[in-house]
Chain A
């Protein structure tokens, strides 16, 4: 028994040193891939590298990116994904629209919308933390949340009263860059600092890396699950709020139909997390790299649109990205063992 334990320990240590060696090379590979795609696209696609199109790309990347930053916390903590983030965004879109139309102030709209998202996320985290399977739990909550959002709004598009203070946030520019992109960049930096430099962040890594060890040093994994799920849900709620502010309309199907490639914002965000090299079993990953992953996916999607590809090949590509990064990661890990 003891020898088996020490052997698995040895393997784990081996894996860690390997991961340390692999991680930079993965990051380099991601950066190189982004640059190659950018160069190829810029050279061969007409009107790809215009200022207008760059604006389109960073705007599109912002929504997927904010969601991906939130999901990164869940994945690093070893709880896979929150499949319900798109549904939370849909509900937030409706709640945001209602509360703006009720003439609530800026701060109270923000608190109501994001607070509701946080509560829903914490509820899912509580069930997951008690031992529920994250995928099944969030599948169930997704159905309930989307049903509620559709019920409240009669599945109709509701216009947001204008003018409102959120228009500037959703559609405005600061220093020539869209405000949603500023929010995306700031959140990526905050997320990275929270993960790397705070006790909470280190606990999230430990929880995903070695749950038994985390428990032994007094980590309560259900608290971690509640915290990371609340963070991901708030990110989803923020996406719902910002997108509805940009469109000046609340609608449950904002995030399932037209947004991005794969037909669902959740799946695009998951693809961004995976292409950013976050370990699917938890314990490794970075918010900044997930953000870069979102930019990469937005770049390629934009290039395919400009080259006249319909939805099919674009969705296929997102699927390929997920499959490739999952296989690459597990192959690297196997070789490490």
Chain B
């Protein structure tokens, strides 16, 4: 079993590269700061991973479907505000459930509109990005809103060695979304409309259902991420969390999604998010300001895109060569594979 997985790893250079990047980043910071490998530091990485991981997972699913959800930051901020505002009225559990379902419903609506209107998600979600920013400002009364009861916040941050209730929940979500994507028919449909939409349509895959599911997952994940941030800090900023898009997108692309869709997995999203979170935590040890983190993430994203483009060109070249080869062999006799 282990030999098999090792073999599949060796045949997947991108995954190998990603793992090497993780080892390099983690190793570097551990050598530089021995405290980086401590239990407390690992706990802090996993806490941050809960938020970035969720956003990465949502973005990964939308990119697999051949689209991208630009509104994740705004939806996270909006749901954070909604949860904080509802906490004082309904108490913690109903407020959290209502907030997260609001995120999922927003996703469903976006997916429905994208499939029905036949427009690209980029265009719709850039509008909803602005729209939800305005909405969360209105709902928050134009200011940062704060919790009055911190019992839930304390519970979320209970430390169990290196895990907390929040990170356990996120791990469970990763496992279930991963299984859904890999084994459920609806999950496979998401890959189908991303990798080859026309062929999928011709084969009888509807675009509406996978699109709605895709954006529901994305909205749900963004909403839950916003909820975790708001509950952990005890407050919600209506204009906050906008940099989640860059970190999430970088993590998703490092984790192996392809911009043309149809490629990527929940495991990849987890590894990508882990790398980004280790990088962010490590840079925090250097007391790097937020814009340096943005600079490094942007640079990393740029390199990943360039590598993907180079791989594409290489594939095209190989394809052309094999076609020429098969054509020349055809002229002699039947092609042998």
Contacts and interface: CB of A to CB of B under 8 A. Distances in A.
Nearest to B305: A132
A314 B128 CA distance: 14
A131 interface: yes
A146 interface: yes
A129 to B, nearest CB: 10
A140 B302 contact: yes
Interface in A60-91: 80-81
A147 B295 contact: yes
Contacts of B239: 263
B135 interface: yes
A314 B142 CA distance: 12
B9 interface: no
Contact of B302 (A141, A150, A310, A322): A141
Interface in B202-254: 238-239, 245-246, 249-250, 253
Given A130-B309, A313-B134, A135 B127 contact: no
A270 B130 CA distance: 11
Interface in B279-296: 289, 291-292, 294-296
Interface in B288-337: 289, 291-292, 294-299, 301-302, 305-306, 309, 312-313
A319 B295 contact: no
B191 interface: no
B137 interface: yes
Interface stretch (B16-24, B50-58, B114-122, B147-155): B114-122
Interface stretch (A108-116, A171-179, A210-218, A323-331): A323-331
B133 interface: yes
A323 B119 contact: no
Given A135-B68, A327-B117, A80 B130 contact: no
B127 A144 contact: no
Nearest to B246: A143
Contacts of A24: none
Contacts of B132: 319
Contact of B245 (A139, A281, A311, A318): A139
Contact of A319 (B120, B133, B253): B133
Contacts of A159: none
A81 B259 CA distance: 16
Contact of B298 (A130, A140, A330): A140
Interface string A266-291: 01001100100000110000000000
A124 B214 CA distance: 29
Contact of B137 (A150, A267, A315): A315
B49 interface: no
Interface in A147-165: 147-148, 150-151, 155
Interface in B65-87: 68, 70
Contacts of B246: 139-140, 142-143
Nearest to A316: B134
Nearest to B312: A131
B179 interface: no
24 contacts: A80-B123, A139-B245, A139-B246, A139-B298, A140-B299, A140-B302, A143-B298, A144-B298, A144-B299, A150-B295, A263-B133, A280-B119, A312-B138, A313-B138, A315-B130, A315-B133, A316-B131, A316-B137, A323-B127, A323-B128, A326-B117, A330-B118, A334-B117, A334-B118
Given A280-B123, A313-B134, A334-B117, 8 more contacts: A132-B259, A137-B305, A150-B289, A270-B126, A315-B137, A319-B130, A327-B113, A327-B117
Top 7 nearest A-B pairs (CB, nearest first) are A147-B295, A143-B298, A319-B131, A316-B134, A312-B137, A315-B134, A322-B127
Interface of A: 80-81, 127, 130-133, 135-137, 139-148, 150-151, 155, 262-263, 267, 270-271, 274, 280-281, 310-320, 322-323, 326-327, 330-331, 334
